[in-house]
Structure 1
Amino acid sequence: MGSVVLPTLRRKREVDTAIRDTLDKVLVLRFGRASDAACLQLDDVLAKASWDISKFATVALVDMDSEEIQVYVDYFDITLVPAIIFFFNAHHMKMDSGTPDHTKWIGSFSSKQDFIDVVEAVFRGAMKGKLIVSCPLPPERIPRFQLLFKDV
């Protein structure tokens, strides 16, 4: 459902333009695959919340299978999907959610309201000039994952 409602970016130029041209709003980029069940569940949450957050955020889906997008996949070290990256006025916004990786949100949200709360926290922090914000969700609603490092 989300893929029908939300724009899908398949080229590097489209992602660059979205990051550069989204001003005074949070840009939410969901990196994933349309065929992945977890991505479809997250897309449904994003689509349902997109109207509620439209005054302060824009949501777009990024197709990881596209060859041109691999530059971003490598740069942000996206190995687990779905992964969400936040931007505000072309600045990468980070979130301290108690996980080892602050650069992106990995996994889905349990509800539409959780997603809205996270985006609102990013927006409020960005408006105060912060580049990293604290996650407003309780720890039991934050997806957990185990990072594996190569050659360590």
Structure 2
Amino acid sequence: MSYVLTTLTKKREVDSVIRDTIDKVLVLRFGRASDAECMQLDDILAKSAREVSKFATVALVDIDSEDVQVYVKYFDITLTPSSVFFFNAHHMKMDCGTADHTKWIGAFRRKQDFIDVVEANYRGAMKGKLIVNCPLPPERIPRYQLLYKDM
């Protein structure tokens, strides 16, 4: 399903989509198109893309591409899929009751969950916020045990 969405493989492409997406939430899904959970998420993203198109843009970032490793390291993408949100080139954070507010780890359970999260980011961004609260109930937020390396 990822053929419907733009796949970015170069740092230059990621830089320009972050810089050029204005007055919309930018959702970057970091992962591998061949990974089962990424495929599940990509299906939800592709099915939602038209519905959120007025206030969001969705792109996929191939974490195996050598050229995007600077972003993989910067956002500490160790678990995939991981979705990172931006608004007017500012990194949007979301408090989901987990240790990591910088990204959404895992797939969304259903299309409406993704739409709700993007909408929460958009509404928060329009109020000038850089961190928003997750609109989903705790049972629909994926839980991962985060292991911090080199601490």
TM-score w.r.t. length of structure 1: 0.98
Matches within 5 A, 1:18-97: 18-97=17-96
Q: Deviations over 1:64-123 (max 9, x none)?
A: 000010000000111000000000000000000001000000000010000000000000
Shift of 1:16: 0.2
Q: Which amino acid in the other structure matches residue 13 of structure 1?
A: R
Shift of 1:150: 2.1
Q: Residue 128 of structure 2 corresponds to which residue in structure 1? A: 129
Distance 2:98 2:27 in 1: 19
Shift of 1:151: 3.7
Distance 2:120 2:110 in 1: 16
Q: State the number of aligned residues.
A: 151
Q: Residue 6 of structure 1 corresponds to which residue in structure 2? A: 5
Distance 1:40 1:150 in 2: 27
Q: Which amino acid in the other structure matches residue 17 of structure 2?
A: A
Distance 1:67 1:83 in 2: 18
Shift of 1:144: 0.1
* Dislocated runs of 4+, deviation >2 Å: none
Q: Which amino acid in the other structure matches residue 77 of structure 1?
A: D
Distance 2:57 2:51 in 1: 10
Shift of 1:149: 1.7
Distance 2:118 2:24 in 1: 10
Q: Residue 108 of structure 2 corresponds to which residue in structure 1? A: 109
Q: Which amino acid in the other structure matches residue 73 of structure 2?
A: D
TM-score w.r.t. length of structure 2: 0.99
Output the aligned Cα RMSD: 0.6
Q: Which amino acid in the other structure matches residue 134 of structure 2?
A: C
Shift of 1:4: 1.1
